[in-house]
Amino acid sequence: MKVLVTGGAGYIGSHTALSLLASGHEVVLLDNLRRGHRKAAEIVVNIAGSRGAFVEADVGDANAVAAALTDHGVEAVIHFAALAYVGESVELPLQYWRANLAGSLGLLEAMDRCGVSRLVASSTCSTYGCPDAEFIPIAESCRQDPVNPYGESKLAVERMVRAHAAMKTRSGTPFAFALLRYFNVAGCDPQGRLGEDHEPETHLVPSAILAALGRRPPLQVFGRDWDTHDGTCVRDYVHVTDLAEAHIAVLEKLNPSSPMVFNIGTGRGDSVLEVIKACERATGRTVPCVDAPRRAGDPGLLIADARKIAAELGWRARFSSMDETCSHAAQWFTANPRGYR
């Protein structure tokens, strides 16, 4: 199958492109390079050879996306292109609504115009907001009540995809889609080909590793008085390669009569301090830390109930150890001291 990967030069998009290639598919990466990296796209295309291509364009430009779909004979789309910083979304809400909602609108318009009717769209556990403890681990049926513009924009995208699919069904043209709600994504390609390079970097694993390697200031620990086993926040960390493979499993089972909604996680949590210790073991160095106040809107505990995708598709996370996840990340950061630059 020939698959368009929007945001294909980004962290998750590029890793998913590698998994698509490994599964025998062809890839067309589309990215405006605002947050993605040309070098990441080049690495994927070089590995792909005749089975890969890169298109520099904005996903919200329906004409450019339609041209990519047509020129490359695309049969399905995996949609990652978005802005994804919670804090930034509070400071710049209009940018998030434009990038995430208007961008997805442009994609759907282009797909409709070109008759492409298979879509796997990335969403987020941020659409659940801050569920009470009784709802954790979080199942797909949990109430969606986002508390920031990032989560709100992603929930709006989910609703737009559903509305489009319903319209296509009424018109007699099947449209198959899946919505995948990610929890915390971490790690890098186990073979060291691709990594994680954000600006600014806010994710815990790369931030801890970079602090250990002396490439950024001490890591801030936002609160040590949470109602958890060691007082720090607990999150469900899924390896980026596992996440990528979940997309392949979903893509190959798309069915217009059965839309799919899945949480993607491991079903277990690691605290901030546990992740820091894993990063120290991976680098052989101490992670310098400073205490900081809690961040507004941060829940103390977020863990996925990932049983649904396991039961329906047989997908389970292979890399369930934080030591393994952090080791893969440390391998890439050690070999690429300036990231993709």
Q: Is there a catalytic annotation at residue 150?
A: yes
Crossing angle of the two packed helices 272-283 and 322-335, in degrees rounded to 10: 50
Dist. CA 247–CA 309, nearest whole Å: 11
Q: Which residues lie across from 238 on neighbouring strands?
A: 185
* Token pair in block for residue 240: 């980026």
What sign does the CA torsion over 5, 323, 301, 90 have? negative
Strands (E), 146-223: 176-182, 184-186, 219-222
Dist. CA 318–CA 311, nearest whole Å: 16
**Other beta carbons less than 10 A from residue 162's beta carbon:** 14
Strands (E), the chain: 2-6, 26-31, 52-56, 76-79, 118-124, 176-182, 184-186, 219-222, 234-235, 237-239, 260-264, 270-271, 289-292, 301-302
Dist. CA 17–CA 12, nearest whole Å: 9
Dist. CA 85–CA 83, nearest whole Å: 6
Strands (E), 202-304: 219-222, 234-235, 237-239, 260-264, 270-271, 289-292, 301-302
Closest CA to 78 of 52, 104, 96: 104
Closest CA to 215 of 199, 237, 193: 199
Q: Which entry of 11, 96, 128, 150 is annotated as an active-site residue?
A: 150
* Token pair in block for residue 267: 């079903």
Dist. CA 209–CA 124, nearest whole Å: 24
Which residues participate in catalysis according to the annotation? 150
